[in-house]
Structure 1
Amino acid sequence: MNNIKTVMLMVLMAVIMMLIGGLVGGRTGLTVMLFFALAMNAFSYWCSDSLVLKWSGAQEVTRDQAPQLYGLIENLAQRDNLPMPKVCIIDADEPNAFATGRSPEHAAVAVTTGIMRVLDYNELAGVLSHELSHVKNRDILTSTIASMMATVISYAAQFFMFFGGSSDDDDVNPIAAVAMMLLAPLAASIIQMAISRSREYEADKDGGALCGNPNYLADALEKIEYYVTHSAPLPEARPATANMYIVNPFEGTGKALMKLFSTHPDTADRIARLREQAREMRVR
């Protein structure tokens, strides 16, 4: 069901792009935007993992370079019947982590040096279990494609807004075209937010089960949330990839309206759900 929902949402993103092109540029504009939608999906599928790692400043490490981290990820991956992902470290004080990759066979898990310093072994296991759950559920590819397409929709709407277009259809409604250019970026952001929020809840639940105690992840989220809201954002973090981190790295810089449209659900709500899951599992 989740996969079907994701496909429908991604088709909707492509439809929005095509509507922008069709309303402003007629059949030519629709064709151009269809091409961009297909191209962005293909590009995201093959290159998303390497781009995200490069943008974040993550460096791949070996077992010898980070034996405890590597061993922990290896144990959790084996427990969840996953191939061993690449292990990467970001040299940054803020505690955070993310996973990326087009499939479990082409995945990478990245953590900051800050998260390894702030969290204890069990809490780090909870975070890594969350990220590996994203890998198993193929969430990161979906989120990456949504992010890139939302960005393209916004840029396309701005381009047509300022430079216009030449339509080959006589019945194009200019008012509808302007309305679409104004509403399309907002619609794309809401779709991206819906994808990311639902996936975070699912990864929390699966991650809590994988590490054996949802309280480990809940305790980790409490610590990460504190540091994120009381420190500057990650130096290499970008708004386009913020939805990939376990906690939004820009959480501490947002105003009320920005938090309303955050790609992450409320951390307190995530923690409460994990505590309830722990009670159902009868663990402390």
Structure 2
Amino acid sequence: MTRTRFAADRGLGRRMVLTMFLLGLLYVAFVAVLIALGARAITVLVIAGCFLLVQYFFSDRIALFAMGGREVSPQEAPELHALIDRLCAMADMPKPRVAIAETDVPNAFATGRDQKHAVVCVTTGILRRLSPQELEGVLAHEMSHVAHRDVAVMTIASFLGIVAGLMTRFALYTGLGRSRDDRGGLPIGLIVMLVSMIVYAISFLLTRALSRYRELAADRAGALLTQRPSALASALTKISGDMSRIPTEDLRKAAPYNAFYFAPALAPGASLAALFATHPPLERRLEQLARISAQLGRP
């Protein structure tokens, strides 16, 4: 990873290693089962691998297209470019491409497999609502994702879930489900479907847990870079509060892209639902920022 001045997070590193290790064990076991099933299962692996490569190499273009983002020049958005220029100088990292999405949902996201192919996008809704200091905090959070290559990590981590999901559909909609073993036992397709569902569920929970922690790590790194955790906390509070005033239809359209966003468009309410969330609860993020403020001696 290219060195930057974003603060390293040992907790993030440990959780990444542990999660990827567990996913790796699960992956090896699942692939062994697929190989034992023969050529048809190998086809699923090849298809999933193609999805992974497309997502890895073209994540920036795909995300911008899906969310209606448009790259803007310094002449079109001078204040936004100035903030990002300042953060790049502070973090000692190359400048990402800058984009704006025309939507009133106040949010931002960063994508791209590495610093050379990164893009940071903000919505018109967030530009209207945040002060320059608050927006700088949000941008520092997003650029931390770029510095730590979070998009590439999460893309690779999600590969097993893609394979398991495709394998479940494969077992349901092909002749594999009607095939029985030599002893006349359960249909092979039923076994494959059950194993795939279990693998998908475990990999889903692991990647969601990693996603939540990487958001906390990005909050921490962004707050330490700007030395203004209170500005980031203010942005979080303001965005979360304003979400309730956005039409539900607009929030539902944005919700599928929650994993990319600075704050989820629709946040889970129940504690059990938090296990499936891409972001940690607002209270936990604010508590962490309050601790950083205390450590820095900030009000």
TM-score category of the 2 structures, normalised to the smaller one: 0.7 to 0.9
The Cα shift of 1:226 comes to 1.4
> Which structure 1 segments of 5+ residues have no match?
none
Q: Deviations over 1:246-280 (max 9, x none)?
A: 111222xx563544411111111011101111110
Provide closer, same or farther for how the CA distance between residues 230 and 188 of structure 1 changes in structure 2, counting only shifts above 3 A.
Answer: farther
State the match for 2:266 in structure 1: 250
State the match for 2:254 in structure 1: 237
1:11 counterpart (17, 20, 24)? 24
Q: When the two structures are superposed, what TM-score results if normalisation uses the length of structure 1?
A: 0.86
Separation (CA, whole Å) in 2 of partners of 1:261 and 1:103: 26
State the match for 1:264 in structure 2: 279
1:91 counterpart (92, 97, 102)? 102
The answer (yes or no) to whether the contact 1:221–1:267 under 8 Å persists in 2 is: yes
Match for 2:290: what amino acid? R
* Percent identity over paired residues: 33
The Cα shift of 1:283 comes to 1.4
1:191 maps onto 2:206 in alignment: yes
Provide closer, same or farther for how the CA distance between residues 145 and 71 of structure 1 changes in structure 2, counting only shifts above 3 A.
Answer: same
Q: Deviations over 1:192-220 (max 9, x none)?
A: 20220121111111010111111111111
State the match for 1:31 in structure 2: 42
The answer (yes or no) to whether the contact 1:116–1:124 under 8 Å persists in 2 is: yes
The answer (yes or no) to whether the contact 1:18–1:30 under 8 Å persists in 2 is: no
The Cα shift of 1:170 comes to 4.8
Q: When the two structures are superposed, what TM-score results if normalisation uses the length of structure 2?
A: 0.82
Provide closer, same or farther for how the CA distance between residues 72 and 64 of structure 1 changes in structure 2, counting only shifts above 3 A.
Answer: same
Provide closer, same or farther for how the CA distance between residues 31 and 39 of structure 1 changes in structure 2, counting only shifts above 3 A.
Answer: same
Q: Between Structure 1 and Structure 2, how many residues are aligned? A: 279
Separation (CA, whole Å) in 2 of partners of 1:39 and 1:76: 35
Provide closer, same or farther for how the CA distance between residues 156 and 179 of structure 1 changes in structure 2, counting only shifts above 3 A.
Answer: closer
Separation (CA, whole Å) in 2 of partners of 1:97 and 1:51: 15
**Secondary structure, counterpart of 2:104 in structure 1:** coil
The Cα shift of 1:238 comes to 5.4
> Which structure 2 segments of 5+ residues have no match?
1-12
The root-mean-square deviation of aligned C-alpha atoms, in Å, is: 2.8
The answer (yes or no) to whether the contact 2:109–2:262 under 8 Å persists in 1 is: yes
The Cα shift of 1:190 comes to 0.7
